[in-house]
Amino acid sequence: MPSEPTREEIHILPENPFFTASTLPYSLPPFAEIRAEHYLPAFERGMAEQLAEVAAIAGDPEPPTFANTIGALERSGAVLGRVSAVFFNQASSDSTPEVREIQKEITPRLTEHSDAIHLDRALFERIKTLHAAKDTLPPAESWLLTRYHTDFVRAGAELSAADKERLVTLNGELSELATAFEQNLLADTNAAAIVVEDPAELDGVSVEAAAETARARGLDGKYVIPLVLPTGQPPLATLTNRALRERVHRASVGRGATVNAEIVVRMARLRAERARLLGYADHAEYVVADQTAPGTQAVADMLGKLVPPAVANAHREAEDLRAEAGFDIAPWDWAFYAEKVRQARYDLDTATMRPYFELDRVLRDGVFHAAGLLYGLTFTERPDLPGHHPDTRVFEVFEEDGTPLGLFLGDFYARESKRGGAWMNSLVKQSDLLGEKPVVVNNLNIVKPPPGEPTLMTFDEVNTMFHEFGHALHGLFSAVPFPRFSGTAVPRDFVEYPSQVNEMWAVWPEVLANYARHHETGEPMPQAMVDRMLEAERFNQGYATVEYLAATLLDWAWHTFTEDPADPVSFERGALADAGLDLPLVPPRYGSTYFAHIWAGGYSAGYYSYIWSEVLDADSVEWFKENGGLLRENGDHFRRELLSRGGSLDPMTAFRNFRGRDPRIEPLLERRGLL
């Protein structure tokens, strides 16, 4: 048997699929050819090639022009872009020990690579020269040049040599810590899964699904309840065994306590130091300076207005739950007795709704159907095209006239190798400059049923599928000249807005009636059940708003602290108390040591984005309702003015072009029952 090739030998192997552009439709990555040993050589070659390209741009003896500087930068790094898109999608959705080792090695090297480009003095001088004359360029080029100038300044291009050296050190350590946090959390979440010996304890949840999960983990004869990313775990709403509910809750809130505590504190300190080095008071000020929010005070003011009415709602809800339970409830009781109150108040048992939400029907007759009615899209499954995992499904997307638009990949099932939550990735970014059409993927974490059984979803999972497809549409509809602006390349506090708008179609009567059908009989969900479901939409909104605000203000506290944090437990307790959100019955949606959004997911000092975006979302939903709802002309208007624009213009300008005015907060307050 021949020996394994060395890294140097692999580096020059012609069959490395990342070294050349994919020949598959839409440049879909050739997943069937990609092996783990291809990643490092591709990263190394990709970084080396891009640094050579950047050196040529910076050293060009010709005076800087948009084409020879900004346009050339947009074209650089082709190999690095291809391998990065595939690798980081796998690292999140199907990680393996080998992939995790590569991630540990390559993440700090990529950070160093980025710093080498952004801190290149000769390159920045060319950008500065062009930026001084940006008003002479066409609008699209001027905006791209402005974004490049901003990126470089925020990356430290104007710092002294000594400060640049310190910045590189800070960035390198932060990237290593973020990777460690993410990998620790995945391992700890898997280790914290609840193993049950006696199936009688599982009353209220699927014994078969728990047995299948156990078998997949090599625990034949036992039963496993896996944990999902947020604090609240779905089984808590239906498990009748109170002791088991407590085990599930404590396992959830305890994640990362031993492995991530020091990482959290260290990252907060390093981010604060980096912000000061770059001229900002704290990390939150640094982040918000490049968002749609006008400043940190505007964010703090909005959050502060929402806390008192949300807390008051949560206290009222708690009284109802205590009355239903007949005793002082604990956090692990809330979801269970909320379900009891929901049933009593609205005659609605959410468990009875699941047979009407079968995954494939929700996808085809719900999500795709709404996109067809609103935008004229059609979808053809392509089993001949490979995905990144056997569970991944590939769909070709067409315009109403049959024009090919791009590819949509759906990876819907949870697995041990997949991080929690739901998200969208771009595998190929649309741009006119490179002649690329979009390839996007949605990742969800729905528990896979035993073989031969249907995948029945909760309504929360249905809503999540519509939400993530809103991100997918943002990527698919991208019609921008430059890859820097493609799809969801917008400020963090704007990116959730289009996806949240897409949630409205999950309950739009014409769409709901099309997909909410019993998986065995095909009968539509009874109208009485539909009416009760819609009537109950505001139910438990106090809890939902408080758990979200608690996580948001916890994120904010970590990134605006004035007293050095000692440990996550005491810091978290003090931060919640200071915010008026220290409600033992309503823990934050994410605790500090498992808050992946802010330590490993790009949402640091930006978790407020969801509620900030919801202001735009709620106001946009009002526009759709005022203008007739699910109409092609409405979809075309939303697509033309907003979804297709990506980051190619100021996002609030795009909103005003769509809405006709600045956003109003009242629709959000009305939606959440906070008026």
Model pLDDT for residues 138-167, shown as the tens digit of each residue: 999 999 999 999 999 999 999 999 999 999
- Whether 178 is in a domain gets the answer no
- Whether 518 is in a domain gets the answer yes
Yes or no: say if 501 and 621 are a contact pair by the CB < 8 Å rule.
yes
Indicate which CATH number applies to the domain containing 18. 1.10.1370.40
| Stretch 389-404: mean pLDDT | 98
329 and 413 housed in the same domain:
no
| pLDDT for residue 9 is more than 50 | no
For residue range 323-363, what is the model confidence (pLDDT) as tens digits?
A: 999 999 999 999 999 999 999 999 988 889 999 999 999 99
* Alpha-carbon span 588 to 575, nearest angstrom: 11
Domain span at residue 408 reads: 354-538
Structural tokens at position 144: 């791209």
603 and 506 housed in the same domain:
no
For residue range 82-122, what is the model confidence (pLDDT) as tens digits?
A: 999 999 999 999 999 999 999 999 999 999 999 999 999 99
What single-letter DSSP state applies at residue 365? I
Q: Which of 235, 253, 271 is the last residue of a domain?
A: 253
220 and 297 housed in the same domain:
no
316 and 381 housed in the same domain:
no
Structural tokens at position 191: 């280790």
pLDDT at 11: 45
- Whether 97 is in a domain gets the answer yes
* Alpha-carbon span 357 to 525, nearest angstrom: 9
* Alpha-carbon span 544 to 404, nearest angstrom: 40
Structural tokens at position 349: 């048992």
- What's the structural domain count of the chain? 4
pLDDT at 3: 41
571 and 615 housed in the same domain:
yes
pLDDT at 349: 87
518 and 545 housed in the same domain:
no
* Alpha-carbon span 176 to 185, nearest angstrom: 14
pLDDT band with cut points at 50, 70 and 90 for residue 4 = very low
Question: Which of the two residues, 306 and 675, has the higher pLDDT score?
Answer: 306
| pLDDT for residue 5 is more than 70 | no
- Whether 675 is in a domain gets the answer no
- Other CB atoms within 10 Å distance of the CB of residue 462: 25
Partner residues linked to 446 by β-bridges: 413
143 and 62 housed in the same domain:
yes
| pLDDT for residue 420 is more than 90 | no
Percent of the chain with pLDDT over 90: 95
pLDDT at 445: 95
Yes or no: say if 473 and 502 are a contact pair by the CB < 8 Å rule.
yes
pLDDT at 122: 98
Yes or no: say if 600 and 264 are a contact pair by the CB < 8 Å rule.
no
For residue range 643-652, what is the model confidence (pLDDT) as tens digits?
A: 999 999 999 9
| Stretch 66-74: mean pLDDT | 98
Structural tokens at position 159: 């710092």
Burial of 411 (0-12, 13-18, 19+ CB in 10 A): buried
310 and 437 housed in the same domain:
no
* Alpha-carbon span 329 to 334, nearest angstrom: 7
525 and 567 housed in the same domain:
no
| Stretch 28-43: mean pLDDT | 98
- Whether 167 is in a domain gets the answer no
Q: Which of 253, 273, 294 is the last residue of a domain?
A: 253
383 and 414 housed in the same domain:
yes
Considering only CA atoms, which of 43, 111, 38, 116 is closest in space to residue 79? 43
- Whether 186 is in a domain gets the answer no
pLDDT at 537: 86
pLDDT at 672: 86
398 and 533 housed in the same domain:
yes
Q: Of 182, 324, 468, 547, which one is the catalytic site residue?
A: 468
617 and 480 housed in the same domain:
no
pLDDT at 14: 55
| Stretch 495-523: mean pLDDT | 97
Tell me which of 12-21, 438-447, 582-591 is least confident: 12-21
Residue 525's alpha-carbon distances to 9, 315, 491, in angstroms, are 60, 33, 39
pLDDT band with cut points at 50, 70 and 90 for residue 236 = very high
What are the backbone dihedrals phi and psi of residue 424, each rounded to the nearest 5 degrees, phi first? -120, 140
pLDDT at 264: 98
Q: Which of 253, 270, 292 is the last residue of a domain?
A: 253
- Whether 164 is in a domain gets the answer no
| pLDDT for residue 7 is more than 70 | no
State yes or no: is 468 an active-site residue: yes
| Stretch 259-273: mean pLDDT | 98
Q: Are strands 423-428 and 194-196 parallel, antiparallel or unpaired?
A: unpaired
- Whether 575 is in a domain gets the answer yes
- The most confident of 227-231, 346-350, 633-637, by mean pLDDT: 633-637
Indicate which CATH number applies to the domain containing 306. 1.10.1370.10
Partner residues linked to 456 by β-bridges: 358
